Amino acid sequence: MIKFDKKINKIFEYWLTITLLLVFSTIIIGGLTRLTDSGLSITRWELFTGIIPPLNESDWLKYFSLYKMIPQYELINKDMSLEDFKIIYYWEYIHRIIGRIIGLFFLIPLLYFHFSKRIEKKYMLPCYFIFILIVVQGIVGWYMVKSGLVNEVTVSHYRLSLHLLLALIIISTTFWVLMNKLMMTYKKFFIFNKENFFFLFLIFLIFFQVVLGAFVSGLDAGKIYQTWPMMGQSYFPNDFVGLKFISFFDFNNHSLIQFYHRNMAYILTIYIIFFSFFIYDKSRPKMFIHIILINIFLILQISLGILTLVSNLNIYIASAHQITSVLLVLASINLYYRHIK
């Protein structure tokens, strides 16, 4: 019986690990879908029939004709050929298929673990929450796509940011549950005290910075100023001077959003440097490697952000920039987890 329980626990851990990797992969594919402007290529939400891609010329022409009805085609891609359409279609198709795989891969074992009652309840409860988030994520994904089908040539940056934020919460929660199971313990995330505040605030800052990055991506704000450290000839964007106070909260202002994203990176760097010295404890030498890890990901993230700008938004560098943002999130969660005793 004990041997069987160990086997079930191991399966549970593998399940969470694969879920983590699948969510990570869909964030990567989602980023590439956005960078290639492929997100609006499929204009219908066909939950079941959409599993099978177009199989013949007639099917391709049908989907292409639907794409021709939206503003993005009329205003930007009027000269697009069917072969070009197939490329952007497959990016979005793969993204949606991975989303479906995640949903089924998570649901079926979840039902088994639930009814078999072979996994402790304390580990199961957050898994129910993760599944709810996965369902909500799918709905928000379509809600995001809908925003670009009428009157706009791209999706709403607010909905895009919400979509990414949910993905980060899903991957972070999965990571936390997995760590608890691997360590055979149960640490709660929200434990409010003076020390934990600095860790939670760090996680908040990183999440906020990633959301700002999604705003930059959604607005194509990276195309305005492609120099660093200056924005053109000045530290501030050209339309910065003379702005009314209320205008500083205008999250539709392309140059202002890029300015905020740049400066949030500086704030985050200063915070992590001081934070690293603050939390380093010689009595807990194992923490050192986790402190180093988050600093490495920070340096990579900032370097790739700068390279993304000066390379005229090179798609591979921009994708790597997004990948390291997820790794930075997980590194901050890991650091906080290791801190909690």
pLDDT confidence of residue 286: 77
Residue 245 confidence class, pLDDT cut points 50, 70, 90: low
Give SS3 for 185. coil
Last residue of a domain, one of 129, 154, 179: 154
pTM: 0.93
Does the residue 224 lie in any domain?
Answer: yes
Tokens found for residue 196: 């934990």
| 163 in any annotated domain | no
Domain boundary among 139, 154, 169: 154
Q: For a pLDDT cut of 90, what percent of the chain falls above it? A: 73
Q: Shortest CA distance to 305 belongs to which of 292, 323, 291, 293?
A: 323
For residue 6, the SS3 value is helix
pLDDT the model gives residue 271: 95
Do 192 and 107 reside in the same domain of the chain?
A: no
- Do both 84 and 8 map to the same domain? yes
Q: Which regions of 47-152 does DSSP assign to beta strands (E)?
A: none
The mean pLDDT value for 9-20 works out to: 95
Question: Do residues 8 and 78 both lie within one domain?
Answer: yes
pLDDT tens profile 170-212? 999 999 999 999 998 899 998 888 888 999 999 999 999 999 9
Say if residues 44 and 50 touch (Cβ distance below 8 Å).
Answer: yes
Domain membership flag for residue 80:
yes
Of the given ranges (111-120, 147-156, 275-284), which has the lowest mean pLDDT? 275-284
Please state the domain count of the chain.
Answer: 2
Work out the pLDDT band at 23, boundaries 50, 70, 90. Answer: very high
Task: Identify whether 277 is part of a domain.
Answer: yes
Average pLDDT of the residues of the chain: 91
**In the 8-state DSSP scheme, what is residue 50?**
G
Q: Look at residue 182 and tell me if it is in a domain.
A: no
Is the domain of 272 the same as that of 228?
Answer: yes
180 in any annotated domain? no
- Where in the sequence is the domain holding 263, given as residue range(s)? 187-341
- Claim to verify: residue 129 and residue 278 sit in the same structural domain: no
Question: Does residue 251 carry a pLDDT above 90?
Answer: no
pLDDT-based confidence at 282, cuts 50/70/90?
Answer: low
Helices 121-146 and 82-116 cross at an angle (nearest 10°) of: 160
Kindly tell me if the per-residue pLDDT of 131 is higher than 60: yes
What per-residue confidence (pLDDT) applies to 1? Answer: 39
With b meaning 16 or more CB within 10 Å and e meaning fewer, what string describes 166-188? bbbbbbbbbbbbbbbbeeeeeee
Shared domain check, 217 and 132: no
Are residue 135 and residue 192 in the same domain, yes or no? Answer: no
The distance in angstroms from the start CA to the end CA of the chain is: 31
201 and 325 in a common domain: yes
